[in-house]
Structure 1
Amino acid sequence: MAEKMELNEVEVWDGNYAAAQALRQAQVDVVAAYPITPSTPIVENYGAFVANGYVDGEFVMVESEHAAMSGCVGAAAAGGRVATATSSQGFALMVEVLYQASGMRLPIVLTVVNRALASPLNVRGDHGDMYLGRDSGWIQMDAFNAQEAYDLTLMAFKIGEDINVRLPVMVHQDGFITSHTAQNIHPLIDDEAYAFVGDYKPVDEMLDFSKPVTYGAQTEEDWHYEHKAKQHRALMDSYVVIDRVFEAFEKKTGRRYNRLETYMLEDAEVAIVALGTTVETAILAAKQLREEEGIKAGIVAPRVIRPFPFNEIREALAGVKCVAAMDRSCPMGAMGMLYNEVNGALASIPADQRPLMTNFIYGLGGRDLSVKEVKRILREQKGHADVGHVTTPIQQFSGLRGPKLGFYETKRS
């Protein structure tokens, strides 16, 4: 029997420790891990919890992140509650096995501390690794601060393990800005947290020899198409369970989560769509613009990026005149992911009613995004809205030293 840890009503934790505590309270059976900055403290702290008797689980040290996710797949297929953590290049090394985990419908929880991808080498935070995994078949949720990293990690178990979902779940947080910044956290006590998550109920576990099962079967053209379509359908339909778990968590804690978070959008003429810690910066900038200049600015923040909240975004932005999609990842020859996803969501709105759209690439390799710069971006959107068309390059690199880069012409027929 694992020992309980005495927790205060308010703890001072950074995002890494908050995620580690959620793994402890969920009583994860197996964590297979390989350390990588800035996510190392998550599995390091879990290992300490195991060593000190706070978890009746196994901490498996492996030789790489590929091996870590492979170990998680094996443990989950055997019937255990399983989790791990990674960042950046470690995440990239896991990618092959991410598809295995989702295709086998194994509800593994992966806490991703987002960090830039090499080359050149960089240990600071951007969303390159987050975007790398977006088509891997995992549910993906995004924390904007340390409290949310704790809350969403607890909820990830309950969502992924639901019999109507049975899919792996990633919880993202920004490297260093969230992972290493200490904030006031309001945790649940151990019994309440575990009761919320619930006992693990294995499905088709390999160690149940009375019901033999096969994992990793080969399908080719006969059934591969149908298998992937069914997996896609399960991911798209998981929003029902996500909403239900969010509602249950609000009843338990008073903290409300939505698949799409919106701020000051009721009367907004211009808006920013953003992820991660940028959301809180953007909220402050929008408030100041409203108070100082009367610009009706709002913020849209996808809490869940897979399944992407297409319908909610379309409804939220239907009355906005101009929208800037903020992508903290270099698209390398295309528009940013958020720009493309949001444009896809708005495509069904009649052209004469559809918001204008621009794309800002920002914050790569940990480059700071200031409130001043967000206000400038929102003012620029107001200028586009006033004249009825985009007057700058549709895609810009915000905060870049040297020449301003814009790759797409803004001429409209």
Structure 2
Amino acid sequence: MKYFLLIFLFFIPAIGHANSFSFTIGPVEIAQGRSSVNLRDFKLKKSKHNKLVRANFVKDSVQWVRDKENLLTPRARIGLRLKESGDIFIKYEGHNIIPVSKNDHLYSEVYVNLFYPKDIEIYNGAALIERISMFAKKKKATNSTSTSNIDYSCVPFHLNITGLDGEYFSVGCRLEKTGRFGNERPRLVVSLVTTNYLLADGSDSPIKVFLQDNSKVSIPLLSKSGSSLKVSLSAKLPKKIPRLKTALGFGPYSLDASKTHSAKKGTLAPSLMIYGKYDLYESSSLRFFDALVYNKTLFNNSGIYFAYTLATAFDSRVELIPLLGAQGLSFKYDSFNDLEHQFIFPQGFEVVYRHAFGLENYTASYGMFLSTSSKTDYENIWIRMGKGWFLELNYINWKHNDSRATMWGLSVGIPFLTFF
């Protein structure tokens, strides 16, 4: 099992970065959307009706991508077939693209964002010979839910958006902290993109909204055909963002203990757990815990660890978090034996799966600590899942000299006090 940890730490960084690719207009992260996109709902329009230029969507080319602003949108390739001759080049989002010669025609494919498309311009020398734009058909009310993509990043804040029924759109969120250290307040950056609508001055997506409380925001939009629309947006934000969060855990454990030539098997023992997390920065924290199991035999295990995000995968919903620190152990076999204390240095990791198994705001995690000393056997393995309240299945095994304790059990965790 100790070797498993080393192998895991070696391979996960590669997995975490395996989702980074580059395409026509820069690096993106391949992700998974929460709505379906049908290319038949998107239409291409040629402004100059040049019969020597053909443009079509490439079949099965839709990909969901996440940009640096944490906005999740679909892109698809448009195939451009040109029978024009001369100095032909394509302009798209500030890039100049030279098509490839294919027997009797020129050809190129360009990735276009379906939710905030920019026009594709085709030039022959200095002359613009075609401009290709895109729009989306409005879906019927019965199918409107399939066109909206409210990202998982918005789910914790209960984001609500109305006014875009039947339209293709996507919303992404990023939480920022404002104010002085220890008295920080939330600021939610909301990014909205929609295929068919612009701001009144013609500015296109993405549209940004900065929310600092639960006030509603009204966004006036204008369609490309000239019709107006008002979109309403709101979220639920906490008044403060505490850096220190704690939780308590309770549950029955099965306890095996031995000392010298005496042993107890399968003793049912109550447990009390204390968990704490102090956020340092966005991706690092200090964590501490204390686990007490007692029924004539006492076993207490406490620790403090520095945790940081080493790698992410699957659109950042899975994180690998190393745990680097130390622990203290106390063991008392019975009233006839002295209380033993030991300071140990097991190291570990935790894998966190957010919005686990399609359940919004539920988090599942698997973690373990393993001994780094040949003189002490120690294993601590846990599986946890919940939303606020959580269930934890935990196994701890410890042996030092002639003392040994092994326990496992299921506990219920509840949020406790928050500070700062």
TM value normalised by structure 1? 0.23
Quick check: which one's helix share is greater?
1
TM value normalised by structure 2? 0.23
Structure of greater Rg: 2
Q: Which structure carries more relative contact order (alpha carbon 8 Å, separation 6+)?
A: 1
Quick check: which one's strand share is greater?
2
